[in-house]
């Protein structure tokens, strides 16, 4: 059992952590969510069908936890981003890149949940269409559609939302 | 151009999903599709800035396994003890006293409920210990079934 858990942490741990980090913007919280995800995985290991890849199941647990976190901490999420703001500013370009990233995160928080979840799973956790569909219990066509519309909204939100300060790519 | 791929297909190509093999060629030749491709690519590049190369903090796995794993609450066992205690108490209590205590100061609006409870009480007295144990087991089985059902509904 522990061997299986270790394998899962090795395979999915970083991607879950990144997902949680993007949702919470803060490393300790992200680690907490990742810990909780794998605790739930471990508690339910006996009920998981070993013939199927565990990815969607694990990402479903993680997405649920992130969704709950965001629901309880919306204010924090909208006003605070430790990872992108506190860390070493470094050279000017790097600092600009960080500012840009913070704006991107604000934009992602402003998206409706159903688009945000698909975008996060695709761009942060790098899942395939099929994996996203299975994780969120959606039709494949719906995944493609939400991905497309979510990306459009993200771009619009970025260009409208902050006076064009992210124009220079 | 005929048989141009639709937007979703071009998006799938950008996302590294399986697409028809001649897609790349077509995108080079067809100006309309090329334009769509470039527009979509810009969207993907923007969203791709969300990517992160953060790694799990050192010692994550050790912290994970050192946490006490909470076993599910032994609800069935607790329920069994409570049911059994309730049933057994019907054997020792004096029903007349119990009935008086229940009805004291209560209007007849709750009379039906009390009749029902007393019904259970008197039935239990006629059943004997073996019957009580059987009923307890049946109730616990029912509860376990419900618990299992709920766990499935949680979706984990």
Kindly determine whether residue A35 and residue B67, on different chains, have CB atoms separated by under 8 Å: yes
> What domain count does chain A have?
1
* B98-115 confidence digits (pLDDT tens): 666 666 666 666 777 777
Instruction: Report yes or no on A43 lying in a domain.
Output: yes
Kindly determine whether residue B46 and residue A104, on different chains, have CB atoms separated by under 8 Å: yes
Kindly determine whether residue B48 and residue A61, on different chains, have CB atoms separated by under 8 Å: no
Kindly determine whether residue B17 and residue A129, on different chains, have CB atoms separated by under 8 Å: yes
Res B71: pLDDT: 58
Instruction: Report yes or no on A169 lying in a domain.
Output: no
ipTM of the complex: 0.78
Interface test with B, best of A36, A48, A49, A129 (most B CBs within 10 A): A129
Kindly determine whether residue B47 and residue A122, on different chains, have CB atoms separated by under 8 Å: yes
Closest alpha carbon within chain B to A60: B156
Q: How many whole angstroms separate alpha carbon B22 and alpha carbon B55?
A: 38
Query: Which residue of B47, B60, B63 is in closest CB contact with A123?
Result: B47
Instruction: Report yes or no on A166 lying in a domain.
Output: no
* B45-68 confidence digits (pLDDT tens): 989 988 888 899 988 998 888 876
Q: How many whole angstroms separate alpha carbon A110 and alpha carbon A78?
A: 9
Burial B118-147 (b: 16+ CB within 10 A, else e): eeebeebeebeeeebbebbeebbeebeeee
Res A71: pLDDT: 85
Contact with chain B for residue A6, Cβ under 8 A:
yes
Provide the chain A residues 63-82 that lie in CB contact (below 8 A) with chain B.
Answer: 64
Query: Which residue of A35, A119, A129 is in closest CB contact with B63?
Result: A35
What average pLDDT score do residues A125-135 get? 95
**Contact status, residue A139 vs residue A133, Cβ threshold 8 Å:** yes
CATH number, domain containing residue A148:
1.10.10.10
Measured between CA atoms, how close is B123 to chain A, in angstroms? 40
Burial A87-99 (b: 16+ CB within 10 A, else e): eeeeeeeeeeebb
Distances (CA, A) of A25 to A18, A21, A108: 10, 5, 12
What average pLDDT score do residues A18-45 get? 90
- For residue A66, give its domain range: 2-161
- Whether residue A165 has pLDDT greater than 60: no
Res B153: pLDDT: 45
Kindly determine whether residue B11 and residue A129, on different chains, have CB atoms separated by under 8 Å: no
Q: How many whole angstroms separate alpha carbon A21 and alpha carbon B57?
A: 12
Reading the block at residue B95, the tokens are 């029903």
Size of interface A-B (CB pairs under 8 A): 106
Burial B53-79 (b: 16+ CB within 10 A, else e): ebebeeebbeebeeeeeeeeeeeeeeb
* A67-96 confidence digits (pLDDT tens): 999 888 876 666 655 444 444 444 555 565
Q: How many whole angstroms separate alpha carbon A19 and alpha carbon B36?
A: 29
């Amino acid at each position: 059992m522990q061997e299986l858990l270790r394998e899962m942490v090795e395979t999915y741990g970083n991607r879950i952590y990144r997902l949680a980090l993007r949702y919470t913007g803060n490393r300790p919280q992200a680690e907490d969510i990742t810990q909780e995800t794998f605790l739930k995985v471990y508690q339910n290991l006996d009920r998981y069908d070993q013939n199927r890849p565990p990815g969607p199941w694990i990402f479903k647990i993680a997405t649920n936890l992130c969704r709950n976190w965001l629901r309880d901490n919306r204010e924090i999420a909208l006003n605070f981003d430790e990872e992108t703001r506190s860390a070493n500013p470094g050279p000017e370009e790097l600092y600009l890149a960080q500012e840009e990233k913070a704006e991107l995160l604000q934009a992602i928080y402003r998206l409706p949940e159903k688009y945000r979840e698909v975008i996060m799973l695709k761009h942060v956790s790098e899942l395939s269409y099929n994996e996203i569909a299975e994780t969120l219990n959606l039709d494949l066509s719906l995944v493609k559609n939400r991905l497309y519309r979510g990306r459009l909204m993200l771009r619009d939100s970025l260009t409208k939302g902050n006076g064009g300060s992210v124009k220079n790519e | 151009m005929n048989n141009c791929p639709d937007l979703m297909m071009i998006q799938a190509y950008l996302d590294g999903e399986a697409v028809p093999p001649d897609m790349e060629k077509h995108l080079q030749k067809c100006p309309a599709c090329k334009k769509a491709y470039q527009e979509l690519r810009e969207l993907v590049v923007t969203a791709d800035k969300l990517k992160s190369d953060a790694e799990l903090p050192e010692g994550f796995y050790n912290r994970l396994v050192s946490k006490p794993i909470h076993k599910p609450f032994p609800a069935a066992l607790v329920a069994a003890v409570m049911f059994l205690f309730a049933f057994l108490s019907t054997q020792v209590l004096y029903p007349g006293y119990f009935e008086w205590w229940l009805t004291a100061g209560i209007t007849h609006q709750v009379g039906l409920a009390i009749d029902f409870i007393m019904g259970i009480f008197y039935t239990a007295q006629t059943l004997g210990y073996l019957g009580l144990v059987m009923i307890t087991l049946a109730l616990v089985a029912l509860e376990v079934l419900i618990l299992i059902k709920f766990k499935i509904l949680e979706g984990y």
